[in-house]
Amino acid sequence: MYFCGIDIGSITAKCVIIKENQIIGSRVVNRGYKSSEAATSVLNETLDIADIKLEDVGFIVSTGYGRNAVREADKQFTEISCHALGASYLVPGAATVIDIGGQDCKAIAIDIRGKVLDFIMNDKCAAGTGRFLDVMAQALEVDLDEFGLLSLKSAKPVEISNMCTVFAESEVISNIAAGTAREDIIAGIHDAMASRIASMASRVQLMPKIVLTGGVSRNIGLVRALENNLKKPLEVSVQAQLAGAIGAALMASNLYIGR
């Protein structure tokens, strides 16, 4: 029997199909304007990758901001519970999850089974999120995929004193005008963002293993800056962006088997 998890975030839509708790198909697409259309699109593409049909799927769970817009879903769960379970799957023994999404950031304490023990979430401001990095990358005219690697070349990171997206962008533009090297500006952005995330995450019990999830986990510069701020190593799976969808698929399997 196949089970499916669909995670509709603020920027991307993710889908994972599992069989016997093994991933047999996954896909990430840009969400676009309509969550329902993104959900159908990413589901169909994942079904093609897995080489199965929708009727072969026993149960579908949706999560994320757009979870209620997924017409194909049998049940919805919050991204907190799905990211916790997905992170535990990706990194067995995980005790803490830091998830950095497009519009929010959260820290989750979990037990050995991936059950949520405590969490804190920043969803009031774009600072410390993927959207913040996107705005900064546009201001610097740097492709977001190059952002992390460029920052690792920095010899003297600048100080970004304001984490409000508007004011931080103004600081970046001032540094550009002053002739500051791009890599030093980017490293400063990462340091400021990491400091904010670390401060928030410290309000839950930060126990190893600490797992980083979300699309921002692909930014190696931010990963290194966050490790420096936390003074702890981070576990980053190559499938970290899929954690929410993986957790949703596992939820689907558990619900189907348990009913």
100-112, pLDDT tens digit by residue?
988 889 999 999 9
Q: Residue 247 in contact with residue 83, Cβ under 8 Å?
A: yes
198-229, pLDDT tens digit by residue?
999 999 989 989 999 998 999 999 999 999 99
Q: Report the 10 Å Cβ neighbour count for 206.
A: 17
Position 117 scores a pLDDT of: 96
Q: How far is the CA of 175 from the CAs of 38, 64, 153, in angstroms?
A: 38, 36, 17
- Is 259's pLDDT higher than 60? no
- Is 154's pLDDT higher than 90? yes
77-88, pLDDT tens digit by residue?
999 999 999 999
Residue 246 to residue 251: CA distance in whole angstroms: 9
- Is 165's pLDDT higher than 90? no
Once rounded to an integer, what is the mean pLDDT over residues 133-152?
A: 90
Specify the 3-state DSSP secondary structure of 42.
helix
Q: Of the candidates 9, 16, 59, which has an alpha carbon nearest to the alpha carbon of residue 38?
A: 9
- Is 166's pLDDT higher than 80? no
Q: Of the candidates 136, 129, 243, 121, which has an alpha carbon nearest to the alpha carbon of residue 188?
A: 136
Once rounded to an integer, what is the mean pLDDT over residues 56-80?
A: 95
> Which residue in the block uniquely carries the two structure tokens 């190893």?
208
Specify the 3-state DSSP secondary structure of 206.
coil
12-32, pLDDT tens digit by residue?
999 999 999 999 999 999 887
pTM more than 0.75:
yes
Q: Of the candidates 77, 82, 88, 118, which has an alpha carbon nearest to the alpha carbon of residue 101?
A: 82
Q: Residue 114 in contact with residue 84, Cβ under 8 Å?
A: yes
Phi, psi at 214, each rounded to 5°: 100, 165
**And the tokens for 230?**
């936390």
- Is 258's pLDDT higher than 70? no
CA quadruple 245, 251, 252, 254: dihedral sign:
positive
- Is 62's pLDDT higher than 80? yes
Residue 181 to residue 179: CA distance in whole angstroms: 6
Instruction: Give the domains, in start order, of the chain with CATH numbers.
Output: 1-91+240-259 (3.30.420.40), 93-236 (3.30.420.40)
Q: How are beta strands 22-30 and 116-122 bridged, if at all? A: unpaired
Position 33 scores a pLDDT of: 78
Once rounded to an integer, what is the mean pLDDT over residues 124-133?
A: 75
Position 124 scores a pLDDT of: 60
